[in-house]
Amino acid sequence: MNDSFESKQPKTKFFVGNWKKYLFEFSLLFLAVFLGFFADSLREDNSEKKLAYELAKSFYEELLNDSVTVLSKIDGRLKKEKSIDYMITFLKDSSLQASSKSLSINFLWATTVRTPVIFTPRTVVLEQLKSSGSLRYFKNQRLQKLVGDLFVSIEYIHERQELEATVYKEYIQPMMINHMDFEFQRKLFSTGIFDRLANYEDSDEYIPFHLSQPERINRVTYINALSYYQTNNIKSTRMIPFEDYVRVNAALLKELRYEFKLT
C-alpha cells in the first residue's frame, strides 16, 4: 500500500531543489558563447580596419605619385601644342629650305616626341580594390563614389590616347618619316633622348637641320593634319580627361587624408 502510494508521487524534488544551480550554469555557458562571439566579431572588425588602413595608405601613395606625373604630362602637352603652333605658322609663310635651331626643336616636338605627353596611371591598388572586393573595407560612401569616378576617368584617358595613337600613326608619323633630318637626329641623340633634347634646347649648341624632301611637302595638307592632331587630340585630351583625372585624384587624396588620418 505505501509502496504503491509513493510510486504515484511526482518526482520533481531533485529539479526543484537545483533549478538555481542549472540557471546559473546556463547563464555562464550563454555568457561564454556570447563573449566568444563578441571577441571574434571584434577581432574581425579590427582586422578589417587594419586592412582598410593598409589599402588606403598604398592607394594614397599610388595616387600621390600619379598626381605629380599627370602634371608633368600636362606640361608636355602644352609644349607640344606650342610646337605644333610653331610648325603651322612656319608652313604658312616660311621658306621650306630654312634652317634654324627653333625649327629643329619644334619639328621634333610636333612630329616625334610622344612619351612626355602619354599618361599611364598606376592602377595596382585600384585593380586590387576592384577585383578582390576590397572596396567594401572603405565604409565612406563618398570615398567609394570617388573610386568609381577614378575608374571612369582612367578609362576615358586610355580611350583618348588610343585615338591619339591612331591619328599620329596615320597623319603625323609619315610627316616625320618623310621630312625628318635624320643626320641631325643621329647627332643630337648620340647620347640620351629627352634629357639630351632638354639640354640642347637650353644650351648654345647648334646642330644644322634641314627638312628632308621639302619639294614633297603639301603645305595645306600638313597644316590641316597638324591642326587636327593638336585641337582634336592633344589639346582636347588635356582639357577634358586629363583635367577630370586631376580633379578626381585631388578629391580622393583629400578624402583619404580625412578618413584615415594620412599625411
Give residue-wise pLDDT tens across range 73-116.
999 999 999 999 999 999 999 999 999 999 999 999 999 999 99
Closest CA to 49 of 137, 126, 131, 140: 137
Structure-block grid coordinates of residue 59: 592607394
Summarised one tens digit per residue, pLDDT across range 111-152 is 999 999 999 999 999 888 887 777 787 888 899 899 999 999
C-alpha span between 7 and 76 (Å, rounded):
103
C-alpha span between 147 and 165 (Å, rounded):
27
Strands (E), 116-228: none
Look up cell 505505501; give the residue: 2
